[in-house]
């Protein structure tokens, strides 16, 4: 599969194509086999929200209801922002960069095995993706207001990082009648939360009608994710009790379809679906040998990481309005059948992996600018 994508892109990139995208197309965050066109640029920004007021399909409340003993308060709230840039290098080649920050709130309920002070309440994650898209075959119409058939290869590199999640351990209960108290409390954390990977996609876009375009794609990728736990104490056997490392390697296959429909000339609607299937998962695990290891709080134990979710269904939809020929605003919704499975690989960690099989979704509000840099010269 990897050899196919490499040979296909190398063999066909030299074919002469004039693959500028159709007029009015909004490309950011929408899969297609169109390139933005030489000298053109699209810059967009999104704001994502989930809270007790903005709760997409009531999924946040469902998350709390199904984990009533472990998760409390504002768990499931999300705030985030995304910035994305597309630049046309040639009519058949574009480069893109996307950076996101998100904070997923996680408030844990009563922890019976320990007394913990100053426990963190969220996973703060930075996501980056960058790559290129080559249009390798097309059949452009003379009238570019109408869509046409196009085939493209897209290569993507991803890097995701999350801040440590931890607290100060004041007391570790080792029996029903007592435990071990620490003064001052020692800081522990779920750490090494990061992943990196790549993905290659083959995309095909074709006219559904004079105002709508359908896109189909298939892809393959690989990723390497890590996580672990630590305890910052001076006593070796206690520090060893909390020491764990989890390194995961996996492959991904994706299949998807999308529709770009101009409901009105200045009102494009976009719908899409993608299926992710994770295969060849390999888990390298190290755990400290101290007898105290059995007293780790449950949200730190990585016993079930190998059996994590391997499938995800993603749905998205957006509606945008061209305020001017260069500026658009809009709103979008995203829904995942298994939270961030296959999207943020290191979320398969002892904390968020424990509820990664639960549906999740959020709303986005966006603004974008589309410019022809050649006209500015």
Taking only the tens place, the pLDDT of each residue in 124-138 is: 999 999 999 999 988
Q: Tokens 């790549």 label which residue?
A: 198
Residue 377 within any structural domain of the chain:
no
Number of structural domains in the chain? 1
Choose between 50 and 143: higher pLDDT: 50
User: Hey, which bits of the chain come out as E strands?
Assistant: 40-50, 78-90, 93-105, 114-117, 122-138, 150-162, 165-175, 178-209, 212-232, 244-264, 267-287, 311-322, 327-336, 360-372
Taking only the tens place, the pLDDT of each residue in 295-345 is: 777 778 877 676 778 999 999 999 999 998 889 999 999 999 988 889 999
Residue 365 within any structural domain of the chain:
yes
Taking only the tens place, the pLDDT of each residue in 51-106 is: 766 665 566 666 655 565 667 777 778 899 999 999 999 989 999 999 999 998 88
64 contacts: CB under 8 Å, gap ≥ 6: 71, 72, 75, 76
Residue 281 within any structural domain of the chain:
yes
Q: Is residue 16 very low, low, confident or very high in pLDDT (cuts 50, 70, 90)?
A: very low
For residues 99 and 101, what is the distance between their CA atoms, to the nearest angstrom? 7
Identify the CA nearest to 327 among candidates 19, 82, 26, 21.
26
For residues 249 and 306, what is the distance between their CA atoms, to the nearest angstrom? 11
Q: What is the mean pLDDT of the chain?
A: 83
Residue 241 within any structural domain of the chain:
yes
Residue 53 within any structural domain of the chain:
yes
The domain that holds 212 is classified in CATH as: 2.40.128.130
Q: Tokens 């989930």 label which residue?
A: 50
**One-character DSSP codes across 311-339:** EEEEEEEEEEEESSSSEEEEEEEEEETTT
Q: Which helix (H) or strand (E) holds 356?
A: none
Phi, psi of 6, rounded to the nearest 5 degrees = -65, -50
Cα–Cα separations (whole angstroms), residue 35 to 17, 69, 278: 11, 49, 29
Residue 63: strand pairing partners: none
Instruction: Identify the domain containing residue 339 by its residue range.
Output: 2-372
Residue 169 within any structural domain of the chain:
yes
Question: In this structure, are residues 297 and 113 in contact, taking their beta carbons and an 8 Å threshold?
Answer: yes
Q: What is the predicted pLDDT for the residue at 9?
A: 44
Question: In this structure, are residues 95 and 86 in contact, taking their beta carbons and an 8 Å threshold?
Answer: yes
For residues 87 and 211, what is the distance between their CA atoms, to the nearest angstrom? 25
């Amino acid at each position: 599969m990897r050899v196919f994508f490499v040979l296909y892109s190398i063999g066909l990139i030299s074919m002469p194509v004039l693959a500028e995208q159709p007029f009015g197309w909004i490309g950011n965050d929408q899969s297609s086999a169109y390139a933005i066109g030489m000298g053109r640029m699209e810059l967009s920004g999104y704001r994502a929200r989930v809270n007790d007021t903005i709760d997409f399909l009531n999924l946040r409340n469902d998350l709390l209801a199904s984990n009533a003993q472990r998760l409390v308060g504002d768990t499931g709230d999300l705030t985030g922002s995304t910035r994305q840039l597309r630049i046309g290098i040639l009519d058949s080649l574009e480069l893109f960069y996307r950076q996101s920050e998100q904070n997923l709130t996680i408030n844990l309920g009563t922890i019976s095995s320990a007394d913990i002070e100053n426990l963190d309440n969220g996973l703060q994650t930075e996501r980056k993706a960058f790559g290129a898209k080559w249009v390798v075959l097309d059949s452009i119409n003379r009238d570019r207001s109408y869509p046409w058939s196009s085939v493209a290869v897209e290569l993507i590199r991803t890097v995701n990082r999350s801040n440590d999640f931890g607290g100060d351990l004041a007391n570790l209960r080792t029996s029903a009648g007592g435990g071990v108290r620490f003064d001052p409390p020692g800081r522990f954390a779920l750490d090494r939360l990061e992943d990196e990977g790549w993905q290659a996609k083959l995309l095909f876009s074709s006219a559904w009608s004079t105002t709508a375009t359908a896109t189909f794609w298939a892809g393959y990728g690989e990723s390497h994710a890590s996580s672990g736990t630590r305890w910052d104490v001076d006593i070796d056997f206690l520090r060893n009790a909390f020491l764990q490392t989890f390194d995961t390697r996996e492959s991904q296959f994706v299949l998807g379809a999308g529709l770009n429909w101009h409901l009105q000339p200045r009102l494009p609607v976009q719908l899409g679906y993608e299926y992710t299937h994770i295969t060849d998962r390999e888990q390298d695990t190290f755990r400290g040998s101290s007898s105290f290891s059995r007293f780790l709080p449950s949200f730190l134990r990585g016993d079930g990481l190998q059996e994590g979710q391997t499938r995800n269904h993603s749905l998205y939809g957006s509606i945008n309005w061209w305020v001017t020929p260069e500026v658009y605003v809009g709103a979008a919704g995203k829904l995942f059948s298994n939270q961030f499975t296959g999207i943020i690989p290191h979320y398969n960690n002892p904390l968020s992996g424990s509820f990664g099989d639960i549906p999740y979704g959020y709303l986005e509000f966006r603004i974008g600018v589309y410019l022809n840099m050649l006209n500015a010269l």
